[in-house]
Each structure stands twice: as C-alpha cells, then as structure tokens.
C-alpha cells in the first residue's frame, strides 16, 4: 500500500496520515527527515545534499528522488508507506515515477484532501502548537483539556507565524502554482482519489479507509 498525500497546506494531510499509520502500520516518509538522517550518517547521498544546502542552493530533484527511493527500500517500508510533502512539483513526480518503475513498483493511491482556500485560512487561525513538544491542537476541532496548555507535556500552546492569515495566503499561492498540477498528473495515472476535507476528522478518515480498503 504505497500512498502519496496531496492537498493544500493546512488541509490536514499530516493528521490524516497519522490515522493511516496507526490503522495500516506503515510509516510516513518525509524528505526533511531523510535529509537529516543521511547527513547525520554521512552517506554519499547525504554528503551531496549537504553540499547544496551549505551553498544555499536547492537540492536537485534527481538527488531528492534518489534519497527518497533509497529510504523506501528500508525494511519498514516493505508493506507500504505514505509520502507526505514529496513530490511537490511535476518534475519531482516524473522522477519518482521513473525511479520506482525501474525497481518494478509504483504508487497505489494518491489521496487529495480537497478544501477551499478560505476554509483553510479559517482552520489555520485556530491551530495551536505546543512550544515544548510540538503536539498540535485546534481551538475548535481538537481543543486541549485546559486552554493554552498541552495535554501531553504541560507546555504552552502557541500560534505559529506560518499559521497567520497573510502567511497562509502566500503558502496557498505557492501551492496552487507549483503543487496543485500534481492532482491532474496522478489523475491521468488513474490513482487519484479526492476526499472532501470538510467532512471533519472522523468523516475524512472513514472516507480514506473506504478508499484504501478495510
């Protein structure tokens, strides 16, 4: 069960991915984690990535794809995985498709969490993040037991700068320009499944489980 999570920033991809992880026992793969791990371990791919990052340059799509595919060959991915945050562009998607095809595999599901921009802006305004442990809450949808206090560690809950309305609007603009075209890309591959993000946490999860199969 190989899954790509699509949807605008703030649509809840990370939250729904957690539900998939718990239910199907497959890992979520993030490029940030892959970069950090490879750089820490001093792998050849990590050294190459670090060279670009130290120079203040973007890591080329081909190298990012190589790092991702290398991670997907680890034992914990043998029953599947979720890619969240990659690919972000059509060239990255094409590189991933080609690399997986070489290994005789491919993506099974591209799940697109659909929400209007204004609904996302409103949702993000209610998001709160623990300054201590990073746990995420929402003032309406997932409130803490005590206002402003993290249930897990007792840390203070804050509104992140990138959850501010103006910042969210800019992020959505970048998404529509660079990442939204992936929806059509995976539609043409016959693996796109659109999910109404306004169904609420339980409704969206149930729809995803229906698509993936119980």
* Average confidence score pLDDT of the chain: 90
pLDDT computed for residue 214 by the predictor: 64
User: CA torsion sign, 133 to 9 to 193 to 67?
Assistant: negative
Catalytic residue among 123, 127, 128, 207: 127
Give every CB contact of residue 23 below 8 A, 6+ residues apart in sequence: 209
Q: What is the residue extent of each domain of the chain?
A: 2-115+175-206
Whether 13 is catalytic: yes
For domain 2-115+175-206, the question of CATH label 3.40.50.300 is answered with: yes
Can 123 be counted among the known catalytic residues? no
128-141 pLDDT tens trace: 999 999 898 988 88
179: confidence class by pLDDT, cuts 50, 70, 90: confident
- Three-class SS of 42-99: CCHHHHHHHHHHHCCCCCCHHHHHHHHHHHHCCHHHCCCEEEECCCCCHHHHHHHHHH
Model confidence pLDDT, tens digit, residues 109-121: 999 999 999 998 9
**What is the rounded CA–CA span in Å between residue 17 and residue 1?**
13
Q: Is 128 a catalytic residue?
A: no
- Tens of pLDDT along 3-50? 999 998 888 888 899 999 999 999 999 887 888 888 888 888 889 888
Which residue in the list 2, 13, 123, 128 is annotated as catalytic?
Answer: 13
């Amino acid at each position: 069960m190989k899954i790509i999570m699509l949807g605008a920033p703030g649509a809840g991809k990370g939250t729904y991915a957690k539900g998939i992880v718990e239910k199907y026992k497959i890992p979520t793969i993030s490029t940030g984690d892959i970069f950090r791990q490879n750089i820490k371990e001093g792998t050849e791919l990590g050294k190459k990535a670090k060279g670009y990052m130290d120079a203040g340059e973007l890591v080329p799509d081909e190298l990012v794809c190589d790092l991702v595919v290398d991670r997907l060959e680890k034992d914990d991915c043998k029953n599947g995985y979720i890619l969240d945050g990659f690919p972000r562009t059509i060239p990255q998607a094409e590189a991933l498709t080609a690399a997986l095809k070489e290994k005789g595999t491919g993506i099974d599901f591209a799940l697109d969490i659909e929400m209007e921009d204004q609904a996302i802006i409103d949702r993000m305004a209610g998001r709160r993040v623990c300054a201590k442990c990073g746990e995420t809450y929402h003032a309406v949808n997932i409130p803490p037991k005590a206002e402003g206090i993290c249930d897990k560690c007792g840390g203070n809950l804050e509104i992140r700068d990138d959850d501010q309305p103006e910042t969210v609007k800019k992020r959505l603009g970048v998404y529509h320009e660079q990442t939204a075209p992936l929806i059509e890309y995976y539609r043409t591959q016959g693996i796109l499944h659109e999910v109404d993000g306004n169904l609420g946490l339980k409704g969206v999860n149930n729809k995803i489980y229906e698509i993936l199969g119980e």
